[in-house]
Amino acid sequence: MRSIAIINQKGGVGKTTSAVNLSAALAEAGYRVGLIDLDPQAHASLHLGVGPAPGEADPKPTTYQLLTGDVPLDEVWQPVGENLLVASSHIDLAAAEVELAGVVGREVILRDALAEMKQDLDFVLIDCPPSLGILTLNALSAVDDVFLPLQPHYLALHGLSKLLQTIDLVRRRLNDRLKLAGVVRCLYESGTRLAAEVSDDVAAFFQEAATGNTAWSDVRLFETPIRRNIRLAEAPSHEQSIFQYAPQSAGAEDYAQLAKEVIALYADVVNPSAKSSILP
C-alpha cells in the first residue's frame, strides 16, 4: 500500500479536485483506493456524495471521530463505486486542533489508525486543509509521500519554503520515510507564457532545493499539467468524479494521464488487482 498526502497550505490550488479525481482514476484503473478527507470543509466528501447530510438521524462516523474519538478507519470508510472508499469529513473536525491540544501523541493518531486498518488497499490518498496545523501534521506523519498541487501564477512559489520546512521537520521527528514525491500543476492555462515561465521556475526551484539530504531531494514535476477545464469545476455539484460527469472532457483526459504517471511511479511497489481501465 502506498499513502499520499495532497498538501498545499494555500486554498484554491486544486488539492481537492486532484485528490478526488486522482483517486477515481486509480480506482477505475483497478486499484483499490481509500480517500481520506481531512479538511473540515468536507469538499472531497461532498464532491463524491458522501458528505455530511444536515440533521441525519444516525450519521456515519467521520474523520472527526477517527481523530478525536478512537473510532477505527474500518468503521469510517464509505464505499463509492467498486474500488473506492471514502473516509468523509465533517465541520466538527475544525475543532480538532483545540480538542487535541492536550493529547499526547496527537500528531500520530492517523498514522496509528492507518497501521491498524484491516482493508487491503493499494493506495490511500489524503485531502488536506489549507493550513499546516494538527490535521496536516497528522497526514504528514501517516503517509509515505506528499504530492504538492500548484497553480502556476507568479506567486506560486511564495510560502513554499514554510511547507518544505514543515515536511522536513516531520520527516526528522515523526516519519523518516516521508518525502515530497511530486508537484502537480493545476488550473493550468495552456499556451500562455506565464504557465511556461512558472513551470520553468518551479523546476529550477526544486533543482536548487534538491542539493542536500532533504525530504524533497527526489521530487518530480509531473509532466501532465491539469488544464483549467470548466467540467472539473462543475462535477462537484453533481456529486460525481470527472470520469462519471464528463468522461470526454479535457479534465478527465488530464487526470487519467496524471494517474498513468502515478501508476508508473509506484510500479515497483503497488501491484494492481487490475480489472477494467479507463486509461487509454
Question: Of 214 and 229, which has the nearer Cβ to ligand ADP?
Answer: 229
Residue identified by cell 467521520 is 62
Strand ordering across the sheet containing 179-185: 77-79, 84-87, 33-37, 123-127, 2-6, 145-150, 179-185, 220-221
Residue identified by cell 477515481 is 24
Whole-angstrom distance, CA of residue 129 vs CA of residue 36: 12
Question: Of 43 and 106, which has the nearer Cβ to ligand ADP?
Answer: 43
228 interacts with, out of Mg ion, ligand ADP, none, CB within 5 to 8 A per kind: ligand ADP
Give me the least distance between CB of 84 and ligand ADP, in Å please. Answer: 17
**Residues at the interface with ligand ADP (CB under 6 A):** 11-17, 43, 130, 186-187, 226, 228-229, 232-233, 236
Give me the least distance between CB of 246 and ligand ADP, in Å please. Answer: 12
Give me the least distance between CB of 3 and ligand ADP, in Å please. Answer: 18
Per-residue contact string for residues 5-34; x = within reach of Mg ion by CB under 5 A: ----------xx------------------
Q: CB of 39 within 8 A of CB of 18?
A: no
Among candidate residues 47, 49, 24, the one with its CA nearest the CA of residue 34: 24
**Which CA distances in Å does 80 have to 19, 38, 204?**
14, 17, 39
CB atoms within 10 A of CB 197: 12
Question: Of 153 and 228, which has the nearer Cβ to ligand ADP?
Answer: 228
Which of the ranges 43-51, 139-147, 150-158, 186-194 carries the binding residues for Mg ion, by CB under 5 A? Answer: 43-51
Report the interface residues with Mg ion, using CB under 5 A: 15-16, 43
